[in-house]
Amino acid sequence: MTAGFWRPVEGGVLVDIRLTPKSAADRIEGIVAASDGSVRLKARVRAVPEDGKANKAIEQLLAKALNIPKSTVRIVAGHTARAKTLRVEADPQTIGAALDRLGG
């Protein structure tokens, strides 16, 4: 069962994130409902949204939070938007359980 902000795909999971750049700290803050009714994992990074810096920061933050290599996390949608979709290449059950814990 998923918490609504992630879904299994072949070889991993897709994670929907609501990112706020230029924050005071890098952190994941739980789940937030979007205006369209979708659910996303809410995250903040200190990096600015220039030259892909915030995108790189969210990839690193999620990898660190899940205790997996940075190379297994990449943005697949929303490169220039606050609403992003990241792909995590790992066992869906293991990562799904870890994501559910992150979502609180």
5 versus 3: the higher-pLDDT residue is 5
Kindly report the pTM of this predicted structure. Answer: 0.92
CB proximity list for 84: less than 8 A, separation 6 or greater: 16, 17, 18, 19, 55, 58, 75, 77, 78
How far CA 85 is from CA of 24, 73, in Å, comes to 23, 10
For residue 37, the model assigns a pLDDT of: 84
What the block records as the tokens of 6 is: 């992630």
pLDDT of 26-83, one tens digit each?
A: 999 999 998 888 899 999 999 999 999 999 999 999 999 999 999 999 999 999 999 9
Task: Report residue 1's pLDDT band, with 50, 70 and 90 as the boundaries.
Answer: very low
pLDDT of residue 3: 63
Contact (Cβ atoms closer than 8 angstroms) between residue 31 and residue 40: yes
